[in-house]
């Protein structure tokens, strides 16, 4: 059975003068060459940076990997952020205003799915991996919130509540929790220009 690989291709969609040739995709680049790869996640930064996170299975081991760099240059070699013989799911990635790639994922640990996260500098240096959700009940798919204040915020639902954590000064900060962000309430969240988290959810057939 052929292995699954992550591919990257570009399409320039800038406004062109009338009569100019239509935009076309670049030739695809293979970002992985061994193992089976799943769940790619992509982020572009305002500084021209790009980051691709994905899950790779090699033998009986699941790994979270990241390649970062610039679209105008090249992507650095993959860095392994986490590995386990248990299940790993749902990588998410964003690029902080300082150019760091911030990555989150879920990993099965001691009876529950936990959210773990780290950051990777533009030079490829990987920060400490933090286990952000505790035990008691599983955490579900992490996502980075749209933020009007230019900062980075990560959120994830759990069975009876949800959690949100900002990333600032190169580290994850203390998090906030809300029962309105539980997995069964279909929560959506964003951050306004003052740094306040705006949360919307369903309850009793109402929003």
Please write the tens of the pLDDT for every residue from 115-165: 999 999 988 899 999 999 988 899 999 999 999 999 999 999 999 999 999
20-78 confidence digits (pLDDT tens): 566 788 778 788 888 889 999 999 988 788 999 999 998 889 999 999 988 777 788 99
CA distances (Å), 55 to each of 20, 83, 89, 193, 205, in order?
40, 9, 8, 33, 36
pLDDT at 67: 92
93-118 confidence digits (pLDDT tens): 999 999 999 999 999 988 899 999 99
Q: Say how far apart CA 207 and CA 12 lie, in whole Å.
A: 39
pLDDT at 117: 97
C-beta of residue 175 within 8 angstroms of C-beta of residue 155: no
pTM of model > 0.85: yes
The number of residues in the chain equals 207
Q: Say how far apart CA 138 and CA 106 lie, in whole Å.
A: 9
Nearest to 90 by CA among 111, 64, 110, 67: 64
pLDDT at 48: 83
pLDDT at 75: 85
pLDDT at 7: 52
Higher pLDDT, 10 or 117: 117
pLDDT at 29: 79
Residue 1 has pLDDT above 50, yes or no: no
């Amino acid at each position: 059975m052929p292995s699954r690989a992550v591919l990257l291709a570009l399409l320039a969609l800038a406004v062109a003068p009338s009569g100019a040739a239509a935009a076309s995709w670049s030739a695809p680049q293979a970002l992985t060459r061994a193992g089976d790869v799943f769940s790619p996640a992509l982020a572009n930064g305002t500084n021209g940076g790009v980051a691709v996170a994905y899950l790779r299975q090699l033998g009986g081991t699941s790994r979270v990997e990241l390649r970062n760099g610039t679209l105008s240059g090249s992507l650095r070699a993959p860095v392994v952020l986490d590995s386990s013989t248990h299940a790993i799911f749902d990588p998410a990635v964003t690029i902080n205003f300082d150019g760091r790639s911030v990555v989150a994922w879920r990993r099965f640990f001691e009876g529950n799915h936990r959210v773990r996260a780290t950051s990777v500098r533009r030079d490829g240096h990987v920060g400490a991996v933090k286990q952000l959700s505790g035990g008691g009940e599983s955490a579900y798919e992490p996502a980075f919130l749209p933020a009007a204040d230019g900062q980075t915020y990560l959120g994830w639902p759990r069975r009876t509540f949800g959690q949100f954590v900002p990333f600032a000064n190169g580290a994850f900060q203390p998090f906030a929790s809300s029962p309105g962000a539980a997995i069964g309430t279909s929560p959506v969240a964003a951050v306004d220009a003052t740094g306040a988290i705006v949360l919307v959810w369903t309850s009793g057939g109402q929003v």
